[in-house]
Amino acid sequence: MNIPTWLDALIAAMLLIGAIVATLGSLGLARMPDFYMRLHGPTKASTLGVGCTMLGSLLYFSTSGEGIRVQEVLITVFLFVTAPVSAHVMAWAALHRRVHCSANTRHPPWPEMDRAPVTEHAASSAPAGDKESAD
Amino acid sequence: MTLLWIPLLTLLGVLVPALTARRGRGFCTLATVTLPAMALLLTLSQVPALLDGELPRVALSWIPSLGLDLAFRMDGLSLMFATLILGIGLLIILYAHFYLSAGEPYGRFYAYLVLFMLSMLGIVMADNLLLLWIFWELTSLSSFLLIGYWSHWTDARKGARMAMTVTGAGGLALLAGFLLLGDMVGSFDLGVVLSSADVILADPRYPVMLVLVLLGAFTKSAQFPFHFWLPHAMAAPTPVSAYLHSATMVKAGIFLMARLHPALGDSELWGWLVTLTGMTTFLYGAWFALLKTDLKAILAFSTVSHLGLVTALLGIGSPMAILAALFHILNHATFKGALFMSAGIIDHETGARELGKLGGLRRAMPITALLTTITAASMAGVPLLNGFLSKEMFFTETLDTALLGGLGWLLPVLATLGGILSVAYSLRLVHGVFFKPAKEVPPKSPHEPPRLMRAPVELLATLCVAVGLFPAALATGILDLATRAVLREPLDFHLAIWHGVNLPLVMSLAALAAGITAYGLHSNIRHFARQFAPIDARLVFEGTIQSLVARTQTLTHRLENGSLQRYMSLLLGTALLLATLGLVELPELAGDKPTQPLDAMLVLGSALMIFAALGTAITHRYRLISLLMLSVVGLVVSLTFARFSAPDLALTQLSVEVVTMILLMLALFFLPQKTPQESSASRIIRDLVLAGTLGMVVASLNYAVLTREIDSIAGFFIANSVPGGGGHNVVNVILVDFRGFDTLGEITVLALAGLAIFKLLNRLRLFMPHSDGEGRVWSPDRYPMILTTVSQALLPLALLVAAFIFLRGHNMPGGGFIAGLVTAVALILVYMARGVEWTQNRLDFPYQPVAIGGVAVATLTGLGSWLFGRPFLTSAFGHFHIPLVGDIELATAMLFDLGVYLAVVGATLMILANLGKLTTPHRPTKEAPAVSRKETPAPPSEEAPLILDTEKSQRPSKEKA
C-alpha cells in the first residue's frame, strides 16, 4: 500500500463529504416540514453523497494495485440515471394528489393549492370540480 | 405364439366393423365374423396338444416391476370357455344381424360386441392374475357400452350404470384380493399360484383374501345379494342379453371360482360361503322368475338362479361336483342362449314381451314354439335333454356332501325346492307364450322370423337334444379336459342318462310333478306374493348412490367451502401437527455444528427483515404500504443469499422480486386501496396463534437442521459439475444438465401458466376504478418525459446485461432464467414508460410463440441426444478455438438454456403485458367516443393510472370544455 499522502487525504475528504451529505439528506428527510421539501434530502444524499463516496472508493481501489475499477463508475451512472426519475415521478404524484405544502414553500404550482392539511371536504370536492370542468 | 394370435385376432376384429360399416350391413357382418372365426379355429387347433397332456402357454414380459406379464395359457378350462365365448359369440353376431333395425349403428354394436369377446377371452386365457384383472375390468367397461347401447333410453343408461357400478366395485375388491394373493405366494403367475395351495391356506390373511376375491366373483356372477344389477341389465338389446347373460359375462365369476378352486377351494370357509351363497341365489332367483311377467325378466331371474346352482356346486367342491358344475355351465350356455334369442324373436316379431299380452303363438310361429319348448324343457330338467343330466348330478352332489353336518339333509331339500320352482317357471314361460289363448292382439301380426335368424336357436336346441341323448359321446371329451385343468388330475367318470332308480331320479321326478302342480296353483302363488311390497332394486340402488353422493358432497363442502382462510388453516394446521410431532422426538434442538459468529450487518439485515415482515402483516389492510413492506422483505432475502455465497439465488430472487412487484401493482389497480376489517376477534386470535406457532416450529426445525451435519447429494454435484457437465457454475449445471428434465417440466408449466393467463385475460372485463381511494381521478399526464427517455436509453443496456448474464451462466453466476427475467423487466419498463400501444407497434409479435418456442428448443435439444444414441437430455461440451475471441467452451446445455430463456421471457411478458393491457382497451375516452364500448357506462372523466396506459392522447380537458 503505497498511496501518496495527498491522495489519501483526497480519498478521506471524499468519504467525509459523502458521509456528511448523506447525513444531512437523512436529517432533511426526517425534519423538513412538508413533502416537497423533504424530497430534496434524499435526492441530494443519493446523488452528491453516494457519488462522493463512490469517487473515494474508485480512487482507493484503482490506486491500490488492482488496476482501474469500473464498478463504482457503473453504480454511479445508474444512480444518476435513476434517482432523478424516481424523484420526478414522486413529485409529480404529489402534485397530482395536491399534497399540502407548508406556508414557507415558495412558488406553489397553482394558487388555490391547499396549505392546510387535506380534509375530507377537500378530498371529495376534487373529482366534483374535475367533472364540472370536463362537462 | 399361436396362442397369442387368439386374443390378437379378436383385438384386430374390434376395428373391422368400424372400418367396414359403410360397405353395407351384410358385408360388415361377414367381415366381423371372419377374425373371431379364425380365432375359434386356432382355439380348436390346440385340442391335440391338450390331449397329449401339454399345457400350451405363451408369456411376454410387460411390466416386470409390477409382476405383470402378457401371459396366456390354454388348458382344458380355458379351452371350454374360449369355445363357448367364440362359438356363441359368432352365433350372436349372426343373430344381431337380423335383430337390429336398419337405422341403428350396427358397426358400433359389432365393435362393442367383439371388444367384449376379447375381454372375456382375456379372462379365460390369462396366465397372470394382474392380466386377468385387467381383462376383468375390460368386461365391465365393454358390458357398460353394450347394456347402454340404446343410450337414448333412460332404462338402458340406468341399467348400464348399475351393472358398471356393481361389477366395477367388485373388480376393485378382486384387485385387492389378487394383490394379497400375489403377496402370499410371491408371484402373480397363475401356475405358481395354483400349485401353492398349502402356502395360501396356511396364511393368516387367507380369510380376508378369500372374501375379497369372492366379492369380485359374486358381483360379476350376480350372486345374492349382488344379483340386482342383472335384471336391470335386460334393458340391453336382446343379442347382448343372450351373449352376456348366458355364456359370458356372468360366467366370468363362475370361471374365476373354478379357476382358483385348486388354490383356494380346500377350506371350510370356502365351502360355507360359496355353497350357501349359491343355494340362496338358486332359490331366490327361481322364486322371482316365477313371479315376473316380462319374458326377459323371467329369463334374467332364471339365469340368476342357475348361476346360484353352479356356484353351489363349486362350493361343494368334490371332484364330481366340479364336473357337474362345468357340465351345467355348458348346458346353461346352450339352453339359455337359445331361450334369450327366442325371446328376442318373439319380441321382434310381435312387438311385445309381457306374458299378459302374449299367447297362442304356436299357430303363428310353430318352429319357434318347438325350439323354445325344447330349450325350456332342458332348463326345467326334463329327461332326455342336457339340462336333466347336469341337474341330476347336482341333486346327487347335494346328497353326498358332508358340508352342513347334522343339517346335511337340508341341501337336497332346498335343491328339490329350487327344481320345483324352475319346472314351474319354465312351464309358465312356454305355456304362457305359445299355448295359452291370447288375451289381446299383439302390436304386430306375429310370423316366423327369417330363416337365418332362427338358425342359431336351431343349432343350440339341437345341441340340447343331442347332448341329452348322447352325453358320453359329445360332452365327455371337453369335460375331461376341463375337469383335468380344475382338479389337476384326470377324473374317471362317464356320463349316462340312466343310473337306475335312485334318490336323485326320484328327486327329479318329484320336482317335475310338483312343478307342474305349482304352475297350476300359479295364480294363488302370485296372489300370495302380492301381499309383500315390491322392492324396486333400481330405486334402492339409485337412492343409495344419491345419498352417498350427498354425503360426500357435504363432506367436501365442509372441507372445501371456497374460503381461502379455511384451506390455509387446514393446511398449516396439518403441517404444524406433523412438524411438531417430528420435533418432539428430537432429544435436543441444537446439533453438533457450531453457529457462525454474529456481526453488525447480519443483525441489521435480520432486524430489517423482521420489521418488514411484521409491517407487511400489520398493514395488510393498506395494500400499497403492505406491498412495499413485502418488497423490502424480498430485497433483504436476496441480500441474504448474496451474503451466504449464493449469487445465483440472489440474482434470481432480485429479478423475481421485481417482476412480482410489477405484477402485484398491476393487480392492485383493480382492488380497492383499503379493505374493511372483516375478521372477527376470535378469528384473528386463531390466525395469530396458528401463524405464530407455525413460525416458531418452522424456525426450530430450521435451526435443528442447520446445526446438524447432513449427508446431502451436494458433494456429488460439486465433484461432477466440471467433468460431467462442463461448467463451473454448479447451480446452472444442475439446472440445465443434471436435473434438466425437471427444468424442462418447469418451463413447460411456466409456458402453460402463461398461456392460461393469456386465455383467461382475453376479453375479461373487470371493474375499472376511475379514481383513487380518495376520489381523485387519475392523472391526465401519461408519460413523464424523463422516464420515457431514460427507459429507452436503458433498454439496450439492459439487453446487453441479459446477454452477458446468459453467456456467462454456465461458469459464473447467471443463466437463462435470470437473463430471461432481466430481459422481461427491461421490456416491461418500456411498456410502463410508453404505453402498450406504442410498444406493441414496435415489438410487433405475440409472445405466445416465444414461450412455446422456448419449450420446443429445450425439448429438441434433449431429443437431439437420441441422434447420437444417448439418453434423453444428455449434454455434450467441448472447447473450440475461435479467431480473435480465443478459446471458448460451448455446451449443448447452452442451447437448452436458450430454451429456458425464451420460455421465461415469453411467459413473463405474456402475463405482464396482457394484464397491463387489460387496464386500458375497453375504457371509454372523452376525446375518442368511437373507440369506446357502448355497453360500458363509465364516468366521462375516467382515466387510466400512470402506469401501462395505451391511450396516446394527452387528454386536454380544457380543449374539450
**Chain B environment of A123 (Cβ under 8 Å):** 774-776
Task: Enumerate chain B positions whose Cβ falls within 8 A of a Cβ in A.
Answer: 771-772, 774-777, 779, 781, 784, 786-787, 790, 793-794, 926, 939-941, 946, 957-958, 960-961
**What is the spatial distance between Cα A129 and Cα B193, in angstroms, rounded to a whole number?**
91
pLDDT surpassing 50 at residue B77 = yes
Q: Per the CB < 8 Å rule, is B941 touching A127?
A: yes
Q: Give the residue-averaged pLDDT of A79-95.
A: 85
| Residue of B658, B783, B787 to mutate, testing the A interface (most A Cβ within 10 Å of its Cβ) | B787
pLDDT surpassing 60 at residue B718 = yes
ipTM above 0.85 for this complex: no
Among the listed residues B416, B421, B433, the one whose alpha carbon sits nearest the alpha carbon of residue B289 = B421
Q: Give the residue-averaged pLDDT of B143-166.
A: 89
Q: Give the residue-averaged pLDDT of B602-616.
A: 93
Q: Per the CB < 8 Å rule, is A133 touching B940?
A: no
Range from A31-35, B222-226, B357-361 carrying the lowest mean pLDDT:
B357-361
Residue B335 CB neighbour total at 10 angstroms: 27
Distances (CA, A) of B330 to B45, B83, B125, B323, B715: 20, 10, 17, 11, 69
Going from N- to C-terminal start, the domains of chain A cover 5-102
Residue B452 CB neighbour total at 10 angstroms: 11
- A42: cell is 434524499
Q: What is the pLDDT of residues B901-923, one digit of tens each?
A: 999 999 999 888 888 877 664 44
Pick B359 or B584 by higher pLDDT: B584
> A134 at the B interface (CB within 8 A)?
yes
Angle at B719 between CA B717 and CA B721, to 5 degrees: 60
Per-residue confidence (pLDDT) for residue B949, from 0 to 100 = 40
**Chain A environment of B793 (Cβ under 8 Å):** 81
Q: Give the residue-averaged pLDDT of B591-613.
A: 89
Among A85, A124, A127, the residue with its CB nearest the CB of B777 is: A127
Per-residue confidence (pLDDT) for residue A117, from 0 to 100 = 47
Q: Which long-range contacts (CB under 8 A, 24 or more apart) does B625-633 make?
A: B627/B661, B627/B664, B627/B665, B627/B668, B630/B664, B631/B657, B631/B661, B632/B608, B633/B609
Among the listed residues B596, B589, B573, B592, the one whose alpha carbon sits nearest the alpha carbon of residue B701 = B589
What is the band of B552 on the pLDDT scale with cuts at 50, 70, 90? Answer: very high
Share the mean pLDDT of chain B.
85
Among B776, B941, B958, the residue with its CB nearest the CB of A97 is: B776
**What is the spatial distance between Cα B287 and Cα B417, in angstroms, rounded to a whole number?**
10
Q: What is the pLDDT of residues B376-426, one digit of tens each?
A: 999 988 888 888 888 888 988 888 887 777 788 888 899 999 999 999 999
| Beta-bridge mates of residue B738 | none
Per-residue confidence (pLDDT) for residue B689, from 0 to 100 = 92
- B30: cell is 361377414
What is the band of B211 on the pLDDT scale with cuts at 50, 70, 90? Answer: very high
Look at the alpha carbons of B684, B685, B689, B692 in this order and tell me if their dihedral is positive or negative: positive
What is the band of B940 on the pLDDT scale with cuts at 50, 70, 90? Answer: very low
**What is the spatial distance between Cα B75 and Cα B262, in angstroms, rounded to a whole number?**
14
Among the listed residues B141, B304, B312, the one whose alpha carbon sits nearest the alpha carbon of residue B225 = B304
**What is the spatial distance between Cα B718 and Cα B733, in angstroms, rounded to a whole number?**
10
Share the mean pLDDT of chain A.
77
Among B786, B940, B941, the residue with its CB nearest the CB of A84 is: B786
pLDDT surpassing 90 at residue A75 = no
Among the listed residues B90, B121, B93, the one whose alpha carbon sits nearest the alpha carbon of residue B249 = B121
Q: Per the CB < 8 Å rule, is A88 touching B786?
A: yes
What is the band of B612 on the pLDDT scale with cuts at 50, 70, 90? Answer: very high
Q: Give the residue-averaged pLDDT of B317-345.
A: 90
Q: Give the residue-averaged pLDDT of B718-737.
A: 83
What is the band of B842 on the pLDDT scale with cuts at 50, 70, 90? Answer: confident
Look at the alpha carbons of B156, B160, B163, B165 in this order and tell me if their dihedral is positive or negative: negative
Q: What is the pLDDT of residues B783-794, one digit of tens each?
A: 778 888 888 888
Q: What is the pLDDT of residues B231-247, one digit of tens each?
A: 888 888 888 988 988 77
Q: Per the CB < 8 Å rule, is A134 touching B961?
A: yes
**What is the spatial distance between Cα B375 and Cα B388, in angstroms, rounded to a whole number?**
11
Among the listed residues B244, B500, B516, the one whose alpha carbon sits nearest the alpha carbon of residue B380 = B516
Among B939, B946, B957, the residue with its CB nearest the CB of A133 is: B957
Residue B619 CB neighbour total at 10 angstroms: 16
Q: What is the pLDDT of residues B629-653, one digit of tens each?
A: 999 999 999 999 999 888 888 989 9
Output the DSSP codes for B14-69.
HHHHHHHGGG-HHHHHHHHHHHHHHHHHHHHTTHHHHHTT---EEEEEEEGGGTEE
**What is the spatial distance between Cα B392 and Cα B399, in angstroms, rounded to a whole number?**
11
CA within 13 Å, CB half, B346: 32
pLDDT surpassing 80 at residue B876 = no
Among the listed residues B182, B179, B219, the one whose alpha carbon sits nearest the alpha carbon of residue B200 = B182
Residue B602 CB neighbour total at 10 angstroms: 14
Q: Nearest-CA distance from B636 to chain A in Å?
A: 19
Q: Nearest-CA distance from A4 to chain B in Å?
A: 32
Distances (CA, A) of B233 to A8, B167, B295, B339, B781: 100, 12, 14, 17, 74
Answer left, alpha or beta for residue B842, where phi above 0 means left and psi between -120 and 50 means alpha: alpha
pLDDT surpassing 70 at residue B105 = yes
| Residue of B624, B654, B776 to mutate, testing the A interface (most A Cβ within 10 Å of its Cβ) | B776
Per-residue confidence (pLDDT) for residue B542, from 0 to 100 = 85
List the single residue in B with minimal CA-CA distance to A95: B779
Per-residue confidence (pLDDT) for residue A109, from 0 to 100 = 67
Beta carbons within 8 Å of B671's beta carbon, 6+ residues apart: B623
pLDDT surpassing 70 at residue B294 = yes
pLDDT surpassing 70 at residue B932 = no
pLDDT surpassing 70 at residue B664 = yes
Q: Give the residue-averaged pLDDT of B475-487.
A: 86
B769: three-class secondary structure by DSSP: coil
Q: Of all residues in chain B, what percent carry a pLDDT higher than 90?
A: 31
Per-residue confidence (pLDDT) for residue B317, from 0 to 100 = 86
Q: How far apart are the first and last CA of chain B?
A: 92
Q: Kindly state the greatest CA–CA separation across chain A.
A: 74
Per-residue confidence (pLDDT) for residue B936, from 0 to 100 = 41
What is the band of B151 on the pLDDT scale with cuts at 50, 70, 90? Answer: confident
Distances (CA, A) of B521 to B292, B380, B692: 15, 17, 81
Angle at B933 between CA B927 and CA B934, to 5 degrees: 100
pLDDT surpassing 80 at residue B824 = yes
Q: Nearest-CA distance from B891 to chain A in Å?
A: 30
Pick B960 or B249 by higher pLDDT: B249
